């Protein structure tokens, strides 16, 4: 037996969209070749999905809160859920984030774990090259480069934790992952604490492999457009419903909706003027596309506005002082005139500028 584990909590129905697509993308392969794999959903009763082909691993709400370090760090749930499941089932277990698409049979992921062999999604690079390097540098300095007994340095490799897998013989390593994660969070608010903790412990104690050639884990650029497409595939899921059986057609997700040529040209010019920052240029392209569609297609205008913000928050490697000028119609003084934009999204943009100012960006009026 092998366990393909998903977990979900809270009341964000968009996560259920992702979960639905992810599980059904795995089932495209498992339906004809189960390969001894059980698909398991760890969740409280409110988030159970009887419409999906999963076994449920019930988790009490109080336990879910504890696994989020009592609300102080929600991503901690990854370490706790994996540790709980691998001990509960005593079987090779791979935890999959809901924002993951299977492009190959899940059995190929399990071929990469075993005693002394662990799995994460992708190599992201060394800490020194991370946008969060100032935070990591302070942490390394304050701990003399040792976190809960494990060494960490500017050359430590970070792996993405969208996939986390291990064999039950290595389950005790999860105590180390949790200890490192807790030490990081005691001194820093960096949100990738569980990612570094797993990278350090798995990378030090086991042969650590990646699987970005088998699955796609998306979290910034295409996410909003993926959600837009999923809403049309699973129209009842956002309202608390499910899918109408396993015969629902699972269409491939398109990464990029069309962009007008003038906007693409403007984004290329912006890239050249902003030191070749392609992620920043894509955020700018999304901004222009949102403005182009605001009077024609409200849904897609909001998709592009979300994409622009997500890229600025998580995609760009460094901030640009010109950001407020480049995104002038989305700064606080102009945001409330964008009545086509969803209120929650306008608030996210307001919050972004608050953080941008506090991080050293130029002052923004409004």
Higher-confidence residue of 316 and 235: namely 235
- Rounded mean pLDDT of 210-235? 93
Contact 185, 73 (CB under 8 A): yes
- Rounded mean pLDDT of 75-81? 98
Stated as kind and residue range, the H or E segment containing 27 is helix 13-30
Model confidence at 249, pLDDT cuts 50, 70, 90, reads confident
Model confidence at 362, pLDDT cuts 50, 70, 90, reads low
Q: What is the DSSP string of 177-234?
A: HHHHHHHHHHH---TTHHHHHHHHHHHHHSEEE--TTTEEE--STTHHHHHHHHHHHS
For 319, list phi and psi in degrees, rounded to 5.
Answer: -80, 155
Model confidence at 301, pLDDT cuts 50, 70, 90, reads very high
The per-residue pLDDT for 200 is 98
Q: What predicted TM-score, i.e. pTM, was given to this entire model?
A: 0.93
Q: Quick one: the chain helix, strand, coil %, rounded to 5?
A: 50, 15, 35
Q: Which fold has domain 2-217?
A: Spore Coat Polysaccharide Biosynthesis Protein SpsA; Chain A (3.90.550)
- The rounded mean pLDDT for the chain is 95
The per-residue pLDDT for 366 is 36
Diameter of the chain measured on Cα atoms: 59
- Rounded mean pLDDT of 15-23? 98
Distance CA 353, CA 150 (A): 37
Model confidence at 365, pLDDT cuts 50, 70, 90, reads very low
Distance CA 136, CA 145 (A): 10
Q: What is the dihedral of CA 213, 219, 97, 200, to 10 degrees?
A: 70
The per-residue pLDDT for 363 is 44
Distance CA 74, CA 76 (A): 5
The per-residue pLDDT for 359 is 75
Percentage of the chain exceeding pLDDT 90: 91
Provide CATH 3.90.550.10 ranges for the chain: 2-217
Task: Return all residues near 123 (Cβ < 8 A) that are at least 6 apart.
Answer: 157, 158, 159, 160, 210
322-352: per-residue pLDDT in tens? 999 999 999 999 999 999 999 999 999 999 9
132-163: per-residue pLDDT in tens? 899 999 999 999 999 999 999 999 999 999 99
CA dist list (Å): 8 to 20, 149, 201: 11, 31, 25
The per-residue pLDDT for 361 is 66
109-130: per-residue pLDDT in tens? 999 999 999 999 999 999 999 8
The per-residue pLDDT for 314 is 84
Model confidence at 364, pLDDT cuts 50, 70, 90, reads low
258-284: per-residue pLDDT in tens? 999 999 999 999 999 999 999 999 999
Distance CA 156, CA 197 (A): 11
The per-residue pLDDT for 131 is 82
């Amino acid at each position: 037996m092998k366990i393909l584990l998903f977990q979900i909590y809270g009341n964000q129905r968009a996560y259920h969209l992702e979960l639905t697509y992810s599980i059904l993308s795995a089932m495209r392969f498992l339906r004809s070749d189960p390969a001894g794999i059980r698909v398991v959903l760890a969740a409280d009763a409110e988030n159970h999905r009887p419409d999906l082909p999963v076994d449920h691993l019930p988790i009490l709400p109080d336990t879910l809160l504890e696994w989020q370090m009592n609300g102080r760090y929600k991503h901690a749930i990854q370490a706790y859920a994996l540790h709980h499941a691998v001990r509960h089932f005593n079987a090779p277990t791979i935890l999959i984030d809901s924002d993951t698409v299977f492009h190959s049979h899940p059995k190929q992921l399990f071929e990469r774990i075993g005693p002394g062999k662990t799995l994460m999604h992708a190599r992201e690079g060394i800490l020194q090259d991370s946008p969060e390097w100032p935070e990591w540098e302070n942490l390394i300095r304050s701990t003399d480069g040792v976190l809960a007994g494990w060494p960490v340095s500017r050359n430590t490799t970070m792996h993405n934790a969208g996939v986390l897998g291990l064999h039950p013989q290595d389950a005790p390593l999860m105590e180390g992952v949790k200890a490192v994660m807790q030490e990081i969070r005691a001194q820093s608010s960096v949100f990738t604490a569980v990612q570094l903790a797993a990278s350090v412990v798995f990378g030090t104690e086991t042969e650590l492999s990646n699987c970005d050639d088998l699955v796609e884990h998306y979290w910034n650029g295409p996410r909003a457009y993926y959600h837009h497409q999923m809403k049309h595939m699973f129209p009842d899921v956002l309202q608390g419903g499910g899918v109408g059986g396993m015969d629902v057609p699972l269409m491939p997700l398109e990464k990029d909706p069309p962009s007008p040529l003038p906007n693409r040209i403007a984004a290329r010019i912006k890239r050249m003027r902003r030191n070749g920052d392609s992620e920043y240029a894509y955020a700018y392209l999304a901004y222009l596309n949102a403005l182009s569609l605001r009077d024609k297609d409200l849904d897609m205008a909001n998709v592009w506005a979300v994409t622009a913000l997500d890229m600025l928050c998580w995609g760009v490697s460094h901030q640009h002082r010109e950001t407020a000028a480049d995104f002038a119609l989305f700064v606080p003084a102009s945001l409330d005139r964008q009545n086509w934009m969803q209120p929650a999204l306008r608030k996210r943009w307001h919050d972004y500028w608050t953080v941008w100012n506090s991080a050293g960006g130029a002052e923004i009026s409004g």
